[in-house]
């Protein structure tokens, strides 16, 4: 009985400790959540562009509209200094971001521009949408290559 209780308590403390272990810097958690939302919406457009999903103008437009608004979220509090992968666990943000913040911001601005263009053409048919999607994908990739660590 006693042992059960102890094991019970141990199991409980493990369960409680897990979220503590995953206790991420809130800015890191927020920016990763933001990128998940980027990918969730961009995935629809990419799926249509690659022929894995049938093109649907309304669905494409909604995803592009979402992406437009998501890429307008102010980034000011999402990238505090000291939240790079050589300083803390749980992030793939390379310290190079803070060495050349102007370039990092320029790459984000490039994303915003390509997404705005995509928003303008997403509902205009598969070919136009695909061209817009390729451009956005290029801006995602350019920043990842420069500033995101490989997945471990
Ligand atoms: C200006 C730079 C930049 C741009 C542009 C950018 N990303 Fe990222 N992305 C990053 C960085 C840096 C990380 C790592 C963040 C971290 O782990 O703290 C990241 C992480 C991610 C992740 C992983 C999130 C997680 O769960 O940890 C996904 C998915 C992602 N990006 C998708 C995208 C998509 C899709 C686009 C384009 C629509 C995009 N990103 C554009 C810099 C960028």
**Tell me: the pLDDT tens digits for 108-122?**
999 999 999 999 999
Q: Which single residue is written with the structure tokens 């272990």?
A: 21
- Lowest mean pLDDT across 7-11, 46-50, 112-116, 118-122: 7-11
Is a pLDDT exceeding 50 seen at residue 133? Answer: yes
The response to whether residue 35 sits with its C-beta less than 6 Å from ligand 1 reads yes
Say how many Å lie between the CA of residue 143 and the centre of ligand 1.
Answer: 8
pLDDT > 60? residue 9: no
Structure tokens given for 120:
């303008």
Q: Cα–Cα–Cα angle for 24, 80, 93, nearest 5°?
A: 65
Is the C-beta atom of 114 inside 6 A of ligand 1? no
What is the predicted pLDDT for the residue at 145? 98
Are 146 and 100 in contact by the 8 Å Cβ rule? The answer is: no
- What separation, in Å, do the N-terminal and C-terminal C-alpha atoms of the chain show? 43
**With a 6 A CB cut-off, is 107 part of the ligand 1 pocket?**
yes
- pLDDT surpasses 70 at 31: yes
Cβ 55 under 6 angstroms from ligand 1: no
């Amino acid at each position: 009985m006693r042992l059960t209780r102890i094991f019970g308590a141990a199991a409980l403390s493990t369960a409680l400790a897990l979220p503590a272990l995953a206790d991420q810097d809130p800015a890191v958690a927020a920016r990763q959540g933001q990128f998940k939302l980027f990918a969730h919406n961009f995935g629809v457009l990419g799926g249509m562009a690659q022929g894995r999903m049938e093109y649907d103008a309304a669905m494409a437009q909604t995803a592009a509209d979402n992406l437009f608004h998501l890429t307008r979220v102010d980034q000011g509090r999402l990238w505090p200094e000291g939240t790079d992968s050589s300083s803390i666990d749980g992030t793939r943000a390379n310290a190079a971001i803070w060495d050349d913040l102007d370039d990092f911001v320029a790459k984000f601005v490039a994303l915003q521009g390509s997404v705005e263009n995509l928003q303008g053409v997403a509902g205009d048919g598969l070919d136009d949408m695909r061209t817009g999607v390729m451009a956005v994908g290029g801006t995602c990739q350019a920043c990842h290559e420069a500033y995101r660590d490989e997945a471990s």
